Chains A and B, each alone.
Chain A
C-alpha cells in the first residue's frame, strides 16, 4: 500500500492546492514548464519555502542562475531563503573571463561525472524531503544522446524519490529542444503561460489524483505568485430554504406573485434610465430590513453617485452601509481577472455571509474583464451558479440599447442563466396636446412560480418606487410595437423601436 496515500504536500502557491485537489502527492516528481518569465522558478521557490516553514529539509539545485542572483530575486518577491540550502551548479564568470572553454572532449563526458558527484554528495548530506531543480533541461547537454538523457533523468528522479524526496523540476522548452520526454517522465505537469498581458496556469497531468481542468488565471507580484482557480459552481453546496423575498413595493410583488425567491438568479433588463438599478436597490433595502447583508458590484458608476441616486429615491444606502448590511464596491476596468473577481465574491459570501449579490451591469462586467460576449456569459454563469448553490440571491443588471426586440434578444441569450427576468421599457403617454415619457415594468420569466403577465407603469420618485395597476388596452407586449388605447383614457404608445415610435 502506498504509505503516502491520502497525504498531500502544499505547493506553497495560494490557490494552486485547490486546483490539485489538496496539493502534491509526496514522493513524486512534478514538471513545471513554460516560456521565459512565466514564473517557473517562483513556483519552485514557493514549494521550498512552504517545506521550510513546515520544518522539512529542502534543497534547491540551480543549473543556470547563480545562487547570489537567485537569493536576491527571491528576496524581491518576499521569499526568505536563509533556511534553504542551494547547490549552485551554474557556470561561473571564470568560464568566460578566463576562457575556460575546451573542445577536446564533449561537455557531456567532462561535466557529467563532477556534477553527478556534487549532487549525490549534497543529497546524502542533507537528505532533503523537497527538492527543486532549475532547470533539468541543462542535463540534456550532459548527455551524449536522447536515449542517454532519458535514462539519466529517469535514474536521477528515481534516486531522489528513493531518498524520500518530492521533486519539482523546471524545463526550458523550445522548438529546437522540445521537452516531450520530460513530460512523459514526470508524475505531473504544471504549464505556465503569459499571452499578452494575462498569465495562466493549467495542469495537464497529475498521476494518482484528480485535478481541476482548464486555464486558471494567476498573478505574480511582490508577494510571489497567486493562482485564481477557475470557478466551478457545482463544487459548492449549501442547504437553504427558497424563501420569497418581497421587494417592499406592492405592485412589483403583485407582478412577481410575492417577490423573488432566495438563491434565484434575477435579471433586470431594459434601456438606460428605466430604473433597473433602483429596483435592485429596493430589493437590497428590504433584505437589509430583515437583517440580510448585500453587496453591490458596480462596474460603471462611482460609489458616491450610487449613494446619491439611492438617496434621491428614498433609499438610505449610506445608513445601510454604516450598519454593515450593504457593501458597495466599484470595480475598475482591467483591475481583476474574472476568476480573481469571483474569488473576491466568494470571500464575501463565505466569510461575510452575504445573502444578496448585485452585479451592475453585464456590459460593465464584460468591459472590465475584457471578455468577449460568450466568454462573459460563461464566466457570469459560473459565478451565478456558485452563488445560487450557496443560497445567495443574485441580481444582474442588463442594459439594452433599443426597444422590446433587445429585451427578447437578452431573454434568448441569457434565458438559460436567469431564473427570473424582470423587464423595463419606456412608454409614450399621449394626452390631448402633449406626449409624456413614462416607464413600465413587466415579468418575462419566473422559474419557481407563476407571475402576473401584465405590464405596469413604474414611477421612481423621492418617496421611492411605485408600481401601478396593470396597463389596460395595450395591444402587444412582445411585438416590435405596441399601442394602448384605453376607452376614454389618455393614449399611450410604447417605445419599442430605436426611433421611439
Chain B
C-alpha cells in the first residue's frame, strides 16, 4: 500500500491548526455568520431533500423490525405483509405529521396570532449546538428575533435568516434564556439550561413557595425577547429550599425538541432585541 508524505501531512496539520486558531479567535469579527448564511443558502436545497429521505428511512427501519417477526408465514404472505406494513408505516407517518400540523394550528388559533409554517430541514451536525434549520426565510417575511412555536408552545427564536431558510436557536440552548411566569400564580422566573437540564430560576421568591408538578410556564414578555403569554414548559420537580436566595426547579419543554418536524413562526411579534 502506498502512502502520502509525512512532511506534506505535517504541513497540512500545521496549516489546519493555524487556521482553526484564527477562526476560533476572530471568527465573529470576520463576519463568519454572513459566510455561514451564504453556505446555508447553498446547502438548503439538499437539506430539504435529505430531510424528507430521513423521515422515510426511519419508517423503513421500523418496517424491517416488524417484518422480522413474521416467521411462520410462507414467502408470498410474508412479502404481502411487508408491503402492507410499509404502506401502513407510510400512512402512520403521514397521520403523525397531520396530527402535528393540526396541533400547531390549534395553538396558533388559541393564541390568535399570524404565523408562517415551516418544515425543519436541518440540525446541528453534532447535535451539541441546540439549533435547527427551517425551510422558510426572509423571502416569506421571517426576521431575526421572531419567536418559533411547536405543537404545544414556544420552541425557540430565529437567530439568522436567509432567503429561503432560517436558523432557530432552541430554548434548550444555554445561550437562550426565556423569562416566564407560572400560569396560575404568575410567579416570575427565568428558564436556563444548566448541566443539560432545563431549570426555572426564581430570584427573591415568596417564602414557602409551592409550584405543583405539571404547572405550565408561559412567557412573561419581560425583556422584549418573546411575546407574552406563550406556553413554554411545565414543571417537573420543584422543592422550596429556605437557605437558597434563588429557588430553582426542574422543568421540561412542552414540545419534543429533538423530534421537531414542523414549526410555526409568529409573524405578529416584533422583537426588541434581535439575534
Q: A and B, one complex?
A: no
